[in-house]
Structure 1
Amino acid sequence: MSQVLHTPPPTTSAPAAGEDDLAALAARHGLSVSGARPSLPEYVRQLWARRHFIGAFATAKLTAQYSQAKLGQVWQVMTPLLNAAVYYFIFGVLMNTKRGVEDYVPFLVTGVFVWTFTQSSIMAGTKAISGNLGLVRALHFPRAALPVSFCLQQLQQLMFSMAALVVILLAFGVPPAASWVLAVPALILQFVFNAGVSLIMARVGSKIPDMAQLMPFLLRTWMYGSGVMFSIHHMTGPDSGLPSWVGPVLQVNPAVVYIDLMRFALIDSFGGGMLPDHVWAMALGWALLAGIGGFIYFWKAEETYGRG
């Protein structure tokens, strides 16, 4: 007697709820994805709503920066002044880059202060996310608030340096002039540029922590090509022996643009002939390119910060 094995008929069961059904259920009850990236206009609105937090956070960081030092906030002015003194001895005296440059000390100090603003903003922005993971993971807020607040902190610190710069200008015989008001739009454009680059580096630094170790070398190289310690106009002139294209290429450098604008605004011997053509258009262009481009680039990765 043989047995016949019969394959049992397949059982049917109710289909599991699909992703579309779950999404509809969540939407019906007002639920949304945790940490989802908002639209760009909504993101801007959220960031503007936190403007008071950004200002308070920047001020608190600035106050705490030198809280353990005996001289306290005096270091906000002493640090760039000491840097300027070192650069004056090495470049102005030993390498004689002051040759042919009128008002070299105001020229140098202005360059050092303006460059330090950009350098410090970018360095702080690089570590804005990776160095504040506890805050990023604990609280819900637009992450762009962190690199922007660090740039604002550096702008506040620059204001202390600018007060010292005015004293130096007067001490070396540079008279006050109406052109000093041009420093305001120049600083605004530079702040927008710095914030944009900081946003870019904040996203890069959040994914590549080693970038914070590499940035000092990149920024130092950038500084040496930005005319902080020497006049690009004199160093690349007809008698320099350099190809004719070197000067125009260096003058397109955004750091050079903002440094030269500040020198033009504050130092009467630094005339318009030392500025590149269409310098204000370039300053505005760099600010818009870095500011808008950097903001969008950072926003696109908003939901990834603090994860992993």
Structure 2
Amino acid sequence: MSQVLHTPPPTPAPSTPAEADDLAALAARHGLTVSGARPSLPAYVRQLWARRHFIGAFATAKLTAQYSQAKLGQVWQVMTPLLNAAVYYLIFGVLIGTKQGVEDFVPFLVTGVFMWTFTQSSIMAGTRAISGNLGLVRALHFPRAALPVSFCLQQLQQLMFSMAALLVILLAFGVPPGASWLLAVPALVLQFVFNAGVSLIMARVGSKIPDMAQLMPFLLRTWMYGSGVMFSIDHMTGPDSGLPSWVGTVLQLNPAVVYIDLMRFALIDSFDASHLPPHVWALALGWALVAGIGGFIYFWKAEETYGRG
């Protein structure tokens, strides 16, 4: 019996630096670029703007599908934050007594819960934006920032349903409509920019550290308890509280507090300017710019790595 020897094919010699340079020059001469390379920041912004219709349609589709399996359907968009507000009212307002000294406590509480839910849901959705949509990220070429931005837009659309319920609550508890209600629009715009920026940051972090999605609920719950959602920061950190004066100052600089209090100031007459930190609109704008621009650049810098194992 003869034995056949199978010799492996010869291994090609590694290309020299000169050959690599020649290939790079050839590719550049014919307009070829590296697949998946990160575009420049202005080009990235243009690409994102060109897909604005996709972002809107994707957000609407996700919102419609969110409660598609529930019998009450989209009613849960309003019922969920209302039930949260009812639980917080029972525990904090009645049992702990945080409603003492707070005028219009129910509108005060519901406004805080709705605005906090907007921020919390946006950040949670942003954390999973890349890691939870790897099939879409790997199958199609588009600016990846479209995903966290679309999830924030979805939460803004959901907030609109909650705002309708909030206005009914305000009227039911004797809060009259006024011109100050128009201030809710710029406050919402600034909060949306802030939420989108933080969501972009967490989307990049979540794409590299999948366990971050499990940790975020605990971090967000801690942030909520320091954001005056269920209590008045003025009353809890006042002279009779026994806390150092700087504690109240630090809490009022909290971006969640800034946006929640701006909405309360816009909608509730009894929540006047004395409850707001100095230069509150400058603070709101500053947080929006820092988070929005900083988060966008931070996310863009890792654009070519998303979806790769």
Residues 181-206 of structure 1 show CA distances to partners (whole Å, capped at 9, x for unaligned) of 00000000000000000000000000
Larger radius of gyration: 1
Call closer, same or farther: CA 1:3–1:219 in 2, change over 3 Å.
Answer: closer
* TM-score when normalising by structure 1: 0.95
Structure 1 residue 27, shift from structure 2 partner: 1.1
CA shift for structure 1 position 104? 0.2
Q: In 1, Cα distance between the equivalents of 2:6 and 2:194? A: 76
Of 28-37 and 90-99, deviating more is 28-37
Tell me how far apart the structure 1 counterparts of residues 2 and 83 of structure 2 sit (CA, whole Å).
102
For 1:78 and 1:48, locate their aligned partners in 2 and report how far apart those are by CA, in whole Å.
Answer: 34
* Structure 1 spans left out of the alignment, 5+ residues: none
The 1-side partners of 2:8 and 2:180 are apart by: 93
| CA–CA distance in structure 2, aligned partners of residues 88 and 238 of structure 1 | 25
1:303/1:8 CA distance change after superposition, 3 Å: closer
Quote the residue 1:194 is aligned against.
195
Residues 52-96 of structure 1, C-alpha deviations (whole Å, 9 max, x = no match) = 000000000000000000000000000000000000000000000
- 2:6 maps to what in 1? 6
CA distance in structure 1 between the partners assigned to 2:120 and 2:2 by the alignment = 89
How far did residue 29 of structure 1 move? 1.7
Deviation at 1:238, TM superposition (A): 1.1
How far the C-alpha of 1:275 sits from its partner, in A, is 0.2
Deviation at 1:14, TM superposition (A): 9.7
Residue 5 of structure 1 deviates from its aligned partner by: 31
Separation in 2 of the partners of 1:265 and 1:289?
23
Structure 2 distance, partners of 1:4, 1:73, is 72
Please say which of residues 29-38 and 186-195 is displaced more in the overlay.
Answer: 29-38
How many pairs does the alignment contain? 306
CA distance in 1, matches of 2:9, 2:115: 80
Deviations 1:80-130 (A, max 9, x none): 000000000000000000000000000000000000000000000000000
Residue 7 of structure 1 deviates from its aligned partner by 27
1:191 is paired with a residue whose SS is helix
Relative distance call for 1:9 and 1:185 in structure 2 (3 A) is closer
Q: Secondary structure at the match of 1:41?
A: helix
Deviation at 1:41, TM superposition (A): 0.1
Identity of aligned residues (%): 92
Please name the residue that 1:103 is paired with.
Answer: 104
Cα displacement (A) at 1:6: 32
How far apart are 1:2 and its partner, in Å?
39
Q: Select between 237-246 and 79-88 the one with higher mean Cα deviation.
A: 237-246
Gaps of 5+ in 2: none
Change (3 A) 1:101 1:28: same
In structure 2, do the counterparts of structure 1 residues 214 and 186 end up closer, same or farther at CA, with 3 Å as the change threshold? same
Extract structure 1 runs of 4+ deviating beyond 4 A.
Answer: 1-11, 13-16
Q: 1:236 to 1:5 in 2, by over 3 A?
A: closer
Q: Could you tell me how far 1:10 is from its partner in structure 2? A: 20
Report the alpha carbon displacement of residue 39 of structure 1 after superposing the two structures with TM. Answer: 0.1
Q: Match of 2:103, SS? A: coil
TM (norm. structure 2) is: 0.94
Structure 1 pair 90–29 and aligned structure 2 pair: CA distance change class (3 A): same
Q: CA deviation at 1:28?
A: 1.4
